[in-house]
Amino acid sequence: MTSGNTTVHQPHGSALRANAVVPGAGALRSLGASDVRLTGGLLARWQERNRTATIPHSLTELRGAGNLENFRIARDGTDEEYRGRYPFLDTDIYKTLEGLAYELARGEQPEVRAFYEESVELIAAAQAGDGYLNSYYQNMRNGKDAWSDLSWGHELYNLGHLIQAAVAANRQLGDDRLLKVASAFADNAYREFGPAGRDQVCGHPEVEMALVELYRETGNRDHLTLAKLFVDRRGRGLVALTLFPAEYFQDGQPLRELPSVTGHAVRMGYLAAGATDVAVETNDAGLLAALVRLWDDMVASKLYITGGLGSRHSDEAIGDRFELPSDRSYSETCAAISIMQWGWRMFLATGEAKYVDVFENVLYNAYAVGLSVDGTKFFYDNPLQRRPDHEQRSGAETGGEALRRSWFGCPCCPPNVIRWMSELQDYVAATTADSLHVANYAAASITAGPFAVDLRADYPWDGNVRAVVRDAPHEEFTLAFRVPAWAAGATVSINGAPAVRAAPGWAELRRIWQAGDTVDLVLPMVVRAHISHPHLDATRGSVAIARGPLVYCAEQQDNAAGVDDLILEPGAPALAHEQTRGIVPGTGDVVVLSLPVRAAAAPAAELYPLWTETVREVTEAQTATLVPYFLWGNRRAETMRVWLRTA
């Protein structure tokens, strides 16, 4: 069909709108946009904000930054200067297109369609005759040869994001134009780096998961072979080193032998996600076991309570075990996305709920905080504490800023946020032939083959989830609900009658269902107080408050006493008072917490007084107001703390 003078490629049928991740093996298969529709609540609002604010804002930024111009220059072969600093700016377009494919499948928008069509045509036209495509290396003025700098060239990283956009366009829109471009570029890479090619890897992992998804989409096994080669080669010191150590590139030790997640956080997350895909498709139990071990170690020693990964601004790197300072938390927004990508793949491979517990933690905290309430400003790095004189200063930027900014010279995060918001429905539910596993909670309409159910929920504000069966087969079918580890005392009932005990993990209900059957899952949203591991020095003696999947923080504008001087006493979290109200303009009503605290008198001026002279501080009773962490920094740039003092 046509719209104006542009050709519109519609999906050929509902089956086409598959998930972003479609493993050929593993415990579960995840449902895609044809089968899961967000119908309300926070996730649907985020998706709406993405469509109405983040995408229009970002399309303007991308045009202004010259990302499309770079493709035009490559197409025309003119002697014009490349726009921007980095050789991976094509990926800003690719990640955006990945999101736009989902949005256009949900409904036409002329400006989005125009950007999509212009981009697809430019990308296809810029591709070299041998399939190679990278507007930085093809730029004549740059005078660089393709594949001449594997450490920093990011060409395979570019290919990875192109593939993911292409797979999304094919699955969501039935538009295979980018898939042809991506396949030709992947074939070029296979000739260059395949079994008969050069023994090399890209300095930035990403292409691995994309190549596996390309194989899943087209059946071309060469692309799976290449992905496996890249996973197996890394760790042998193949990346030429200039600025950073081999560890930065995860090239110091093979992944299977790596004792702990390490190096540049986003690289690590993408590599692990791709390795999970390779392990699943090649039935490599040893590789999967290594990934389980790395995941468990990361969760036990290297993730912030928000799910953020990466505690060093230097090298944008993951720190040592228990090196998790709140004020220096780097926790790049892209790293949050990479953890969700890895976690979802581990969940599909194993069926274990623990991976979704982390996914959920990341989603509502480390990921969500990366975007402003109005959808047009972004954090690159995500601290858990803001000191009053702090300036945000991500590793890839010169200059600092008080809070989020509207774009970056290295804008990896904003388009990553766009695609992830567009794909949220892909991470709600998974199935087997005779089961539906509801992994993440939202108001949603879900169809799993012969079984269909409507979820009603005001999650994450409220822990009551009601599922009403819309359609059911005549045989037994399992409806399973994830019971998060935080949901102690969860209950589940069918048509008002108590059903199985809901221990953390899965509440599995197997029976012959009837249309109209109603399941009520109650996840108690008790206010929790968390302390940290005794070896985590940075937060020793402090407490973080959480409720359901949300971590809370104290912002100065809501508190009379200085938030650095608020002191929590034992028992105070149990006295927390919940109030549903609007506190940050533009969010609607959210759950705000009030806690009894004591406010210490202003501390002595001395930085290091003698221990023997330290006396118990004089305090006065106060009430502290805490807001969800992901909403911080949307008002004035003031002091913020996740971890509150207890002394």
Residues of this chain that interact with Zn ion (CB under 5 A) are 332, 334, 412-413
Least CB distance to Zn ion at residue 332 (A): 5
* E strands, 416-496, in order: 429-432, 435-438, 443-448, 451-457, 464-471, 477-483, 491-494
Considering the complex, state which of residue 332 and residue 517 has its C-beta at the smaller distance from Zn ion.
332
Q: Sort strands 505-511 and 542-547 into parallel, antiparallel or unpaired.
A: unpaired
Cβ-proximal residue to Zn ion, closest one? 334
Least CB distance to Zn ion at residue 237 (A): 26
Residue type, 307: G
Considering the complex, state which of residue 335 and residue 346 has its C-beta at the smaller distance from Zn ion.
335
Considering the complex, state which of residue 332 and residue 423 has its C-beta at the smaller distance from Zn ion.
332
Considering the complex, state which of residue 235 and residue 319 has its C-beta at the smaller distance from Zn ion.
319
Least CB distance to Zn ion at residue 111 (A): 25
* E strands, 315-471, in order: 385-386, 429-432, 435-438, 443-448, 451-457, 464-471
Considering the complex, state which of residue 412 and residue 595 has its C-beta at the smaller distance from Zn ion.
412
Considering the complex, state which of residue 207 and residue 334 has its C-beta at the smaller distance from Zn ion.
334
Using CA atoms, how far apart are residues 115 and 122, in angstroms rounded to an integer?
10
Using CA atoms, how far apart are residues 163 and 187, in angstroms rounded to an integer?
12
Considering the complex, state which of residue 412 and residue 519 has its C-beta at the smaller distance from Zn ion.
412
DSSP string of 70-88, one letter each residue: HHHHHHHT---PPSSS-TT
The residue among 13, 48, 56, 49 whose CA lies nearest residue 32 is 13
- Give the pair of three-digit tokens for residue 327: 């004020």
- Give the pair of three-digit tokens for residue 441: 């909670």
Considering the complex, state which of residue 40 and residue 395 has its C-beta at the smaller distance from Zn ion.
395
Considering the complex, state which of residue 35 and residue 423 has its C-beta at the smaller distance from Zn ion.
423
* E strands, 99-185, in order: none
Considering the complex, state which of residue 271 and residue 494 has its C-beta at the smaller distance from Zn ion.
271
Least CB distance to Zn ion at residue 418 (A): 12
Considering the complex, state which of residue 380 and residue 506 has its C-beta at the smaller distance from Zn ion.
380
> Any residues with CB less than 8 A from the CB of 615 and at least 6 apart, and which?
none
Considering the complex, state which of residue 334 and residue 444 has its C-beta at the smaller distance from Zn ion.
334
> Any residues with CB less than 8 A from the CB of 60 and at least 6 apart, and which?
none
Least CB distance to Zn ion at residue 380 (A): 6
- Give the pair of three-digit tokens for residue 267: 């690289």
Which 3 state secondary structure label does DSSP give 464? strand
Least CB distance to Zn ion at residue 77 (A): 31
Instruction: Give the rounded distance of the alpha carbon of 367 from its chain centre.
Output: 6
- Give the pair of three-digit tokens for residue 167: 């797979």
Least CB distance to Zn ion at residue 91 (A): 10
Least CB distance to Zn ion at residue 564 (A): 29
| 28 class by beta-carbon count within 10 Å (0-12 exposed, 13-18 middle, 19+ buried) | buried
Least CB distance to Zn ion at residue 126 (A): 24
Least CB distance to Zn ion at residue 103 (A): 21
Considering the complex, state which of residue 204 and residue 234 has its C-beta at the smaller distance from Zn ion.
204
Using CA atoms, how far apart are residues 452 and 448, in angstroms rounded to an integer?
6
The residue among 220, 289, 294, 214 whose CA lies nearest residue 253 is 294
Least CB distance to Zn ion at residue 623 (A): 37
C-beta atoms surrounding 282 within 10 Å? 17
Q: Which helix (H) or strand (E) holds 285?
A: helix 285-301
- Give the pair of three-digit tokens for residue 404: 């989020």
Least CB distance to Zn ion at residue 95 (A): 10
Least CB distance to Zn ion at residue 69 (A): 22
Considering the complex, state which of residue 14 and residue 314 has its C-beta at the smaller distance from Zn ion.
314
- Give the pair of three-digit tokens for residue 42: 């926070």
Least CB distance to Zn ion at residue 626 (A): 28
C-beta atoms surrounding 579 within 10 Å? 12
80 contacts 61 by C-beta, under 8 angstroms:
no
Least CB distance to Zn ion at residue 335 (A): 7
Which 3 state secondary structure label does DSSP give 382? coil
The residues pairing with 641 across neighbouring beta strands, listed in sequence order, are 385, 554
Which 3 state secondary structure label does DSSP give 452? strand
On the CB side of 644, how many CA atoms lie within 13 Å of its CA? 31
- Give the pair of three-digit tokens for residue 163: 């593939």
Using CA atoms, how far apart are residues 261 and 473, in angstroms rounded to an integer?
44
Least CB distance to Zn ion at residue 377 (A): 14
Length of the chain: 647
Considering the complex, state which of residue 123 and residue 336 has its C-beta at the smaller distance from Zn ion.
336
Q: Helix 221-233 vs helix 265-281: angle between axes, to the nearest 10 degrees?
A: 130
DSSP string of 431-446, one letter each residue: EETTEEEE-S--EEEE
Considering the complex, state which of residue 412 and residue 502 has its C-beta at the smaller distance from Zn ion.
412
Which 3 state secondary structure label does DSSP give 370? helix
- Give the pair of three-digit tokens for residue 130: 């041998």
